[in-house]
Structure formats: structure tokens, C-alpha cells
């Protein structure tokens, strides 16, 4: 009996490339399903549901306003401390939650990518996109605070989309690093919480970046801008509140460091993804 012509697919190694955009486009439906699953599963069978997306940053704002704005009397550049801190808590909450999701994403999806092929980069990118849902829900509280304090944005609001993209770029770059490291070294998951706490207090969340300039001078201030979230947070305050000049020096330095971190994170992820199935 003659053998039937059975179609088959051969998966072979290709020349290394940064990202295969055509391949990612072919798997866009899978990416959409992962993001949708991430959003729906998070609030499924919860009493408060989507309210948690608002309560987390609001609770942080209340605590920071009482401790740092009330007791410690930390300056806020002449802006009421609740809205001053919330403008920083908003991008920071997205950054920390998306990093947390990306760090554990490969470990949580090991039962999927070890059985079927698809671009592995989809997995850590899923929480990076899904956490934007919480970000925009929590943004509603910022609008309420702005109305309450009679604070309205100026022309600099047009730069907000760029700052959001920069925020996503930061989370993506570091998220690729942490996700690939965590599946090889499980200690990364345990080190994440103290690491993210350290990064939060290093960022100008509870204090203005101008305080660094005042205490340590211009050079340290510009060096501080290498930390990408510094420019994002200060940019959020300037673009939304309309009372501060745009910190283009911090944003410019932060943009360069964000691009470098993203590129290095992508290179590390691409070089190590071939062993994910073996160590998962």
C-alpha cells in the first residue's frame, strides 16, 4: 500500500532575530485570549470585583498622605499631598503589578508552553497589557481628585500618551529579565517583594525629585534620572496637574535607559527561551 501524503511541519532553528513580528502577528488571537483570561480570572469569584483595581492605589494614597504628607511633612511642590502622591501611585501600581505578573508568568504557564509551540514572549507580555485595564480604572479616581482640588491639566497633557508608552516600555524590559530569570532561578520570586519595595522608595513616589536636586545637586539629580520611573512619575505630575514644568531632562535620560533595558531584556529572553521547557 502506498503511503499517503501526510502534511507535516518542521520546526527548526532560525538565525537569531530581535523579535519575529510576523510570527507574533500570526499568534495575535492567542495573545488576546491570554490577556482576556488574565483580566477575567483576577476578579472572578471576588466580592468587590473591579473595585479592587481602585482600592489598592487609593489605600496607598491614604497611607502615604497620612504618614509622609501629614506626619513627616515631606514637601509636595505646592500641590495637595493626596493628589501629589496619587499621580505617582498610579503609574507605580501598574509598574509593580505588571512586574509581579511577568515574574511568575513563565512558571505559571509551564504546563502550556512545554506541550505546544507558540512565541514564548507572549507569556510575560500578557500581564504587561492586562494590567493596563486596572490602570485606566484607577485613573478615574485621579479625575475625581483633580475636580475636587480644582486642578486642571494644561497643554502638557498632550505628552501623557508618550509617558504611558514609556511606562509600558519600562515594565516590558524589566519583565522580560525577571520572567526568564525566575524560571531558571526560583529564588527570584522570593526576592521580588523586597526588591519592588526598594524600587518604590527609590522612586519619587512619596517625595518630589526636586528634593534630590536640592539636597545633592544637579549631577546627582541627573544621575537619578537613569532610573526610568523617575521621569515617568515626574512627567505624570507635570502633564496632569498643570502646575509644574515638564522635567525633560529626567524624561530624556529615562527614555534612553528604558530603551537600553528593553533591548537587553529582549536579548536575554531570546537567548534563554530555548531552555525554558527543560528547566520548567
Q: What digits encode the pLDDT tens for the residues 34-71? A: 999 888 887 776 656 677 778 888 999 999 999 998 88
The domain total for the chain is 1
Q: Would you say residue 10 lies in a domain?
A: no
CA distance 208 to 204: 5
Q: Would you say residue 7 lies in a domain?
A: no
> Which region among 72-76, 98-102, 206-210 has the lowest average model confidence (pLDDT)?
72-76
Distances, alpha carbon 91 to alpha carbons 7, 55, 95, 199, 273, in Å: 49, 15, 6, 13, 29
Q: Would you say residue 117 lies in a domain?
A: yes
Q: Would you say residue 242 lies in a domain?
A: yes
Q: Would you say residue 255 lies in a domain?
A: yes
Q: What is the pLDDT of residue 17?
A: 59
Three cell numbers, residue 181: 530569570
Q: Would you say residue 6 lies in a domain?
A: no
- Domain with 224, as residue range(s), is 27-279
Amino acid at each position: 500500500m502506498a503511503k499517503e501524503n501526510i502534511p507535516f511541519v518542521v520546526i527548526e532553528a532560525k538565525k537569531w532575530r530581535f523579535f519575529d513580528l510576523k510570527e507574533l502577528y500570526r499568534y495575535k488571537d492567542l495573545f488576546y485570549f491570554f490577556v482576556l483570561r488574565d483580566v477575567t480570572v483576577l476578579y472572578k469569584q471576588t466580592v468587590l470585583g473591579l473595585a479592587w483595581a481602585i482600592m489598592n492605589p487609593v489605600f496607598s494614597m491614604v497611607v502615604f498622605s497620612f504618614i509622609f504628607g501629614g506626619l513627616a511633612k515631606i514637601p509636595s511642590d505646592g500641590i495637595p499631598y493626596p493628589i501629589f502622591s496619587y499621580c505617582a501611585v498610579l503609574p507605580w501600581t501598574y509598574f509593580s503589578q505588571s512586574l509581579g505578573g511577568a515574574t511568575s508568568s513563565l512558571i505559571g504557564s509551564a504546563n502550556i508552553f512545554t506541550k505546544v509551540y507558540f512565541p514564548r514572549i507572549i507569556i510575560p507580555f500578557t500581564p504587561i497589557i492586562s494590567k493596563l485595564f486596572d490602570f485606566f480604572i484607577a485613573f478615574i479616581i485621579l479625575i475625581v481628585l483633580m475636580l475636587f482640588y480644582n486642578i486642571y491639566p494644561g497643554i502638557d497633557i498632550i505628552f501623557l500618551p508618550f509617558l504611558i508608552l514609556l511606562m509600558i516600555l519600562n515594565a516590558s524590559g524589566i519583565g522580560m529579565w525577571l520572567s526568564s530569570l525566575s524560571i531558571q532561578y526560583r529564588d527570584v520570586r522570593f526576592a521580588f517583594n523586597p526588591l519592588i519595595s526598594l524600587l518604590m522608595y527609590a522612586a519619587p513616589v512619596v517625595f518630589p525629585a526636586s528634593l534630590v536636586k536640592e539636597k545633592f545637586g544637579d549631577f546627582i539629580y541627573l544621575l537619578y534620572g537613569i532610573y526610568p520611573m523617575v521621569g515617568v512619575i515626574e512627567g505624570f505630575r507635570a502633564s496632569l496637574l498643570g502646575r509644574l514644568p515638564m522635567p525633560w531632562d529626567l524624561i530624556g535620560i529615562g527614555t534612553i535607559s528604558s530603551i537600553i533595558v528593553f533591548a537587553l531584556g529582549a536579548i536575554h529572553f531570546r537567548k534563554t527561551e530555548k531552555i525554558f521547557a527543560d528547566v520548567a
